[in-house]
A and B are shown apart, each in its own frame.
Chain A
Amino acid sequence: MPVYSEKVMDHFQHPRNVGEIENADGVGELGNPTCGDIMKIYIKVKDDKIEDVKFKTFGCGAAIATSSMVTELVKGKTLEEAEKVSNGVVAEALDGLPPVKMHCSNLAADALHLAIEDYKARKAGKGPIGRVETPEHDEDEHDLLEHA
């Protein structure tokens, strides 16, 4: 098992705000199935506040926990406050993540920001944005070992 904190395990086993919002005001979908992580965040916005937020995630324990945590951190917050929540803030709120998980499994805040961007684009008549693919890893195991 990866060395996950108690908070990560808690959010993995009891994820908050799982699901889909019908007629969401903004949707942010981010990731790459080849890397093993896709996060999709739905927001309902009222008076510039995130009235409701839900997520669906395909990914490892860290991906699920960060998705759950980000929804908890921004629910009820203004869009401006939510935009300040970074991937680093999410990882910190979970008492940290194993280093190997910091990259592709820690994109929940990015997915949220994409949902906000999507909300703004839709309002301006330019949305929806759709899924954004993150780049794959291209390290060769052999080279990685050599450089380690």
Chain B
Amino acid sequence: MKIINFDHFAATKMRQEVKDAMEPYFIGEYGNPQSIHTLGDEPREAVDKARLKAAELLNAASTEVIFTGSGSEANNLAIKGTAFARMEKGRHIIVSKIEHFSVLNSVKSLAKLGFEFSEVPVDKYGSVDPQDVKNALRKDTILVSITQASNEIGTIQDIKEISKIVHENSAAYIHTDANTSCGFIETDVKELGVDMLSAAPHRFYGPKGVGLFYLKKGIRIMPLIDGGIQEFGRRAGTENVPAIAGAGAACELAKKELKDRTLHLLPIQKTITDGVLGGLDEVYLNGHPEKRLPNNLNFVVKYIEGESMLMWLNNIGIMVASGSACTSKILKSSHVLNAIGVDPALAQGSLLISLGEDNTLEDAEYFVKELPAVVKKLREMSPLYEEVMKRNKK
């Protein structure tokens, strides 16, 4: 059976070029980039080259790019690093209600140490109103962190406008979590006007175990991992040279292919959207209809539960995710769906699709053809659907 990966936010297949870029640094050139002797030369060059490629993708200077262990770590570094460095200036942080857990749980941890945070709301499409950010700013606000695009509903935020408002009205730093968007839409830090940005190469055909952190020159953070002078002293620990080399290769590919990726993904995204909305009753799309990532879709299929849907689709080779309570480890439905006003009962029928370069139009057509039978089977055994049918008859 052919496996169709519609869950690229969980994992993308590494590109052969990425693996080739990593290969020399496992055994052959195994040296430590910090060594002064010859063994350190090639690995050091590999790290420098990767940093340059990452900087080119982000339109930053090489010295403004820090490699971390993951996108989550980059988010932690932005938030806790800023908080610890600027606590004398203030203890207030602004985030949105639909941030990734690596952002939300970072500010919650800080709250236990005496920091305060405000969560700006989003509208029904998941968009942050920059005016709400302005209204939330206080004299003691030290950081604003808003994701560039939601990892669940794909809505793209107006980071440029938010950065402008933050800088014009406060001394706060602005960070954007681009862990979902980087590699698929423009992440030009100068254009966005941000002070910090996080990205996750494994989301765009790079290796797992490495993250990117952009730190604008002059922005002060405290490292979370102290030790040697690796990563300009901002993130100590011997460099994961193969992963960093792979991240650099993934960045190089992303820069070269960014437009082509969108051109490839949009028709697939449209086929699925039209097919699902046209082929099923009582189903709707979450997130912004236009201002959204080309590689994400999020539907609510009413009266059925996401895990059952996911399991039936898995049976026919289609891998998807869901924001239902049963698919989460804490048995709570998605906070993102909650923030855009989806009734928690309906959020159970959430279907989260994330596309990638291995997907084809045929995959989309197959999915659209097979989904109605899965939904019908589950609705036939749903007491909620039964209730609605009886109500409609009356």
B238 CB-CB contact with A under 8 Å: no
Q: Is the CB of B311 within 8 A of A58?
A: no
Q: Could you tell me which residues of chain B, from 339 to 394, have a CB within 8 Å of some CB in chain A? A: 344-345, 348, 380-386
- Which chain A residue lies CB-closest to B346? A33
Q: Is the CB of B331 within 8 A of A104?
A: yes
Q: Report the minimal beta-carbon distance from A132 to chain B, rounded to whole angstroms.
A: 13
* In the complex with contacts A36-B305, A36-B324, A36-B333, A12-B311 CB distance below 8 A: yes
Q: Is the CB of B344 within 8 A of A58?
A: no
Q: Report the minimal beta-carbon distance from B140 to chain A, rounded to whole angstroms.
A: 23
Q: Is the CB of B308 within 8 A of A60?
A: yes
Complex-state Cα separation, A104 to B381, whole angstroms: 18
The listed residue with most B CB atoms (<10 A of its CB), out of A2, A18, A36, A139, is A36
A residues near B105, Cβ cutoff 8 Å: 141-142, 145
A137 CB-CB contact with B under 8 Å: yes
A113 CB-CB contact with B under 8 Å: no
A66 CB-CB contact with B under 8 Å: no
Neighbour of B109 across the interface among A36, A59, A105, A142, CB < 8 A: A142
A residues near B329, Cβ cutoff 8 Å: 100
Q: Is the CB of A37 within 8 A of B326?
A: yes
* In the complex with contacts A12-B308, A61-B308, A64-B381, A137-B386 CB distance below 8 A: no
Q: Is the CB of B101 within 8 A of A141?
A: yes
Chain B interface, >50% SS class = helix
Q: Is the CB of B330 within 8 A of A58?
A: no
- Which chain A residue lies CB-closest to B304? A58
- Which chain A residue lies CB-closest to B105? A142
A144 CB-CB contact with B under 8 Å: yes
Q: Report the minimal beta-carbon distance from A23 to chain B, rounded to whole angstroms.
A: 15
- Which chain A residue lies CB-closest to B380? A18
A76 CB-CB contact with B under 8 Å: no
B303 CB-CB contact with A under 8 Å: yes
Q: Report the minimal beta-carbon distance from B151 to chain A, rounded to whole angstroms.
A: 15
Q: Is the CB of B325 within 8 A of A34?
A: yes
Q: Is the CB of B326 within 8 A of A105?
A: yes
Q: Is the CB of B383 within 8 A of A29?
A: yes
- Contact string, B328-339, partner A, CB cutoff 8 A, digits 1/0? 011111000000
Complex-state Cα separation, A13 to B315, whole angstroms: 9
Q: Could you tell me which residues of chain A, from 1 to 29, have a CB within 8 Å of some CB in chain B? A: 1-2, 12-13, 15, 18-20, 29
A56 CB-CB contact with B under 8 Å: yes
The listed residue with most A CB atoms (<10 A of its CB), out of B108, B314, B348, is B348
Interface residues on chain B, number (Cβ under 8 Å): 34
Q: Report the minimal beta-carbon distance from A40 to chain B, rounded to whole angstroms.
A: 4
Q: Report the minimal beta-carbon distance from B6 to chain A, rounded to whole angstroms.
A: 15
Complex-state Cα separation, A56 to B104, whole angstroms: 37
Q: Is the CB of A142 within 8 A of B386?
A: no
Neighbour of A2 across the interface among B304, B307, B348, CB < 8 A: B307
Q: Is the CB of A18 within 8 A of B381?
A: yes
B residues near A35, Cβ cutoff 8 Å: 325, 331
Complex-state Cα separation, A62 to B383, whole angstroms: 16
Q: Is the CB of A36 within 8 A of B326?
A: yes
Q: Report the minimal beta-carbon distance from B119 to chain A, rounded to whole angstroms.
A: 13
A70 CB-CB contact with B under 8 Å: no
- Which chain B residue lies CB-closest to A15? B381
* In the complex with contacts A34-B344, A58-B304, A64-B308, A139-B330 CB distance below 8 A: yes
* In the complex with contacts A57-B383, A137-B330, A33-B101 CB distance below 8 A: no
- Contact string, B79-121, partner A, CB cutoff 8 A, digits 1/0? 0000000000000000000000100110011000000000000
Given contacts A36-B306, A58-B305, 5 further A-B contacts (CB under 8 A): A1-B310, A35-B331, A58-B382, A60-B326, A145-B105
| B interface residues (Cβ-Cβ under 8 A, vs A) | 101, 104-105, 108-109, 303-308, 310-311, 314-315, 324-327, 329-333, 344-345, 348, 380-386
| A interface residues (Cβ-Cβ under 8 A, vs B) | 1-2, 12-13, 15, 18-20, 29, 33-40, 55-64, 100-101, 103-105, 137, 139, 141-142, 144-145
Closest 9 CB pairs of A and B: A33-B345, A60-B326, A60-B307, A40-B383, A36-B325, A36-B348, A34-B344, A56-B383, A142-B108
